[in-house]
Amino acid sequence: MRFAVAGFVSALIQLGLAILGLGGFGALRSRPAVLAMFSVTIVLIVISLFSAGNLSAGEEEDRSNRWAVGVFVALGLLLAYLSPLSDRNNVLTIDRETTRWIGLVIYTLGGCLRLWPVFVLGSRFSGLVAIQHGHKLVTTGIYRYVRNPSYVGMLIGSLGWALVFRSGVGIIITVLLLVPLVPRMSAEERLLSRHFGAEYDRYRARTWRLVPGIY
């Protein structure tokens, strides 16, 4: 329940900041792609309510990486507000309306990919770097290729958000998400390696962190 409430509240704050950055609800009339993205966000929120994701520390947690959560939140708030603000003031914008619709498609794909692992892992998915009760290593489906599909979805969704507002500033913030993300992935890998041992080490050796063939 905490996971669902946190997601619901964060999405409302995100949409509220976007409207504030645009200068009010009236700006949505001239930006149908933005309005469509808001609708997609609401649908994703509703879908997430049926997941079993949580914020549990479980049986074992790596608390040394909790700082990353605060950085993710701070960058997320900046992305939510500065992207529409730069669009409104035409600062570092990509000057094509088509960019908005491309961004909408990217945002939707990213949102779906972000949620997919939450449903695959169920109660084993936590917003913290933690081993849950009855934790099992999943190596099938999308996990056959990348170890962190939810993070891939987060990055793709953030890029889509920035593009819907044609915002170069938003693209920069999306890149900055890698600053807390890389050490968080490293912390998760250390924890999983301690818990699953050689099984996880073999899995890690044959898969990629985020992008198959690249990283």
Indicate which CATH number applies to the domain containing 169.
1.20.120.1630
Q: Does residue 3 have a pLDDT over 80?
A: no
For residue 93, being part of any structural domain is answered with: yes
Residue 53's pLDDT is what? 78
For residue 45, being part of any structural domain is answered with: yes
Q: Which residue has the higher pLDDT, 188 or 53?
A: 188
Q: Does residue 185 have a pLDDT over 80?
A: yes
For residue 107, being part of any structural domain is answered with: yes
Residue 2's pLDDT is what? 62
Domain count, the chain: 1
Residue 153's pLDDT is what? 96
- pLDDT digits 0-9 by tens, 58-71: 888 888 889 999 99
For residue 211, being part of any structural domain is answered with: no
- pLDDT digits 0-9 by tens, 106-155: 999 999 999 999 898 888 888 888 888 878 898 988 899 999 999 999 99
Residue whose pair of structure tokens reads 């619709």 in the numeric block: 101
Q: Does residue 18 have a pLDDT over 80?
A: yes
Number of CB atoms found within 10 A of residue 205's CB: 7
| Contact residues for 154 (Cβ-Cβ < 8 A; gap 6+) | 110, 114, 177, 181
CA–CA–CA angle 6, 13, 180 (5° rounding): 65
Residue 112's pLDDT is what? 95
Distance CA 201, CA 110 (A): 28
Q: Does residue 46 have a pLDDT over 80?
A: yes
| Contact residues for 86 (Cβ-Cβ < 8 A; gap 6+) | 92, 93, 165, 167, 168, 169, 170
Q: Which amino acid is at 130?
A: A
For residue 21, being part of any structural domain is answered with: yes
Q: Which amino acid is at 207?
A: T
For residue 214, being part of any structural domain is answered with: no
The token pair that represents 208 in the structure block: 């990629």
The token pair that represents 1 in the structure block: 């329940």
Strand partners, 167: 93
Distance CA 20, CA 55 (A): 29
For residue 210, being part of any structural domain is answered with: no
Taking the alpha carbons at both ends of the chain, their separation in whole angstroms is 34
Residue 57 backbone phi and psi in degrees, to 5? -80, -10
Q: Does residue 7 have a pLDDT over 80?
A: no
**Which residues span the domain enclosing 115?**
2-205
Closest C-alpha to 181, from 129, 141, 112, 103:
129
For residue 153, being part of any structural domain is answered with: yes
Question: Band of the pLDDT at 50, cuts 50, 70, 90?
Answer: confident
Question: Band of the pLDDT at 4, cuts 50, 70, 90?
Answer: low
Distance CA 11, CA 178 (A): 21
Query: Widest CA span of the chain, in angstroms?
Result: 57
Element (H, E) at 112: helix 97-121
